[in-house]
Amino acid sequence: MGQQHARLLGRFNGSVRLVGIVDPYTDLTLLGQEFSGIPFYLSCKDWKDSGNSADLMLIASPNAWHPTHLGYAMDMRMPALVEKPLCNRTEIADALIARSEAEGIPCWVMMQARWNPTLRHLKDLVDGGELGELLHIDIQCYWNRDQGYYRPGGWQGHAELDGGTLYTQFSHVVDAVQWIFGPWAEVQARLHNRTHASMHQLDDGGCLTFTVDGGLRTDGTPSEPALGSMVYSTSAYGGNLDQSITVLGSLGAVRISGQYMNQFYWYKVQGRDKPPILPTAGPDEHRLALWRQVIATLQTGKGTQGLVGLREARSVIALIEDLYANAQRGAHTMTHLESAKDYTPPTLPKLTH
């Protein structure tokens, strides 16, 4: 992801400049010409010791390394943008929040789904009460992660560095659903590992149920909670299949689908003839929109609307942590982090290429 972000920054036509890359595992001969001449470091310590400075550190390392690298950014009093998830444990998130707030260092987490115009429109419908009383929310995420992804010696699938599919693949979906509908309650989970047991001991799919605030009835009184469900998998044959979210309300029904939940499949909303015409670009465009807001915030010192700070990012970590801690599990699934007491900050292994 680090190289992908670096290439995205190239689309700012020189108004943003990459001043250093830290990556001990990259084969320099495979980097494109666009990275030539940029200082390269084998560790954050090497960068810190070099005296090189920047206006922002992008952290796109394995999940469990995010806190260490964010700590280096804070040591250099440098704002940071962290790839999702922030980390894999709430107690670590709490320490990061405390330091960031005590030292006044702005830090954000890359939750690009919030910049998806289709999901933004859904949030406007919910916030405006246009769907009426919320009855049911259903999320489906069917992706593919095969042996090419879970390669030997890599961090993906590693018990502590990865932490689980909900962290690495779908935390942006969990964040988007909470952002649109509010906190989850009455959460239950059933996890399995049907097709990846030879690659990792994490989850490759699961069924989650929950409730969220149902909004108001037509008479203005609070409704019962809306029922929610989420089914996810990394076992879709042949490649990523689809992500969708279906919302049933007393005054409307909407289904958003597409590989990145960026197309209206069904749209029946009282008082609206048809869905709005919105861009259907993928996550790179959403990341660019987020980057534009980060850059504007750094330039002006204000305007953080739409950016996910550490406290908001913690709520996603807490929810996923709770899901994993209390889930029913099939064979070969997530036995390594069954409860917080089983976890200590990892001794980070040396990865191979």
pLDDT for the residue numbered 103? 96
Q: What is the pLDDT of residues 8-52, one digit of tens each?
A: 988 988 888 899 999 887 766 666 777 788 888 988 889 989 988
Strand partners, 40: 21
What the block records as the tokens of 295 is 């850059």
Domain extent listing, the chain: 2-112+301-310, 116-272+313-342
Distance of alpha carbon 102 from the chain centroid:
25
Which residues, 6 or more positions from 30, have their beta carbon under 8 angstroms from its beta carbon?
A: none
pLDDT on residue 333? 83
C-alpha dihedral, 207 to 210 to 215 to 219, nearest 10°: 100
The predicted pLDDT at position 76 comes to: 93
d(CA 23, CA 21): 6
Residue 246 near residue 254 (C-beta atoms within 8 A)? yes
Alpha-carbon 182 to chain mean position: 16
What residues in the chain have per-residue pLDDT under 50? 338-353
Report pLDDT for 28. Answer: 65
Q: Answer yes or no: are the C-beta atoms of 226 and 136 closer than 8 Å.
A: yes
User: What is the model's pLDDT at position 331?
Assistant: 83
Summarised one tens digit per residue, pLDDT across range 43-91 is: 888 998 998 889 999 999 999 999 999 999 999 999 999 999 999 999 9
Domain 2-112+301-310 part of CATH 3.40.190.10: no
Is the fold of 2-112+301-310 the same as that of 116-272+313-342? Answer: no
Fold designation for 116-272+313-342: Dihydrodipicolinate Reductase; domain 2 (3.30.360)
- What pLDDT score does 30 carry? 67
pLDDT of 36 reads 80
What size, in residues, is the chain? 353
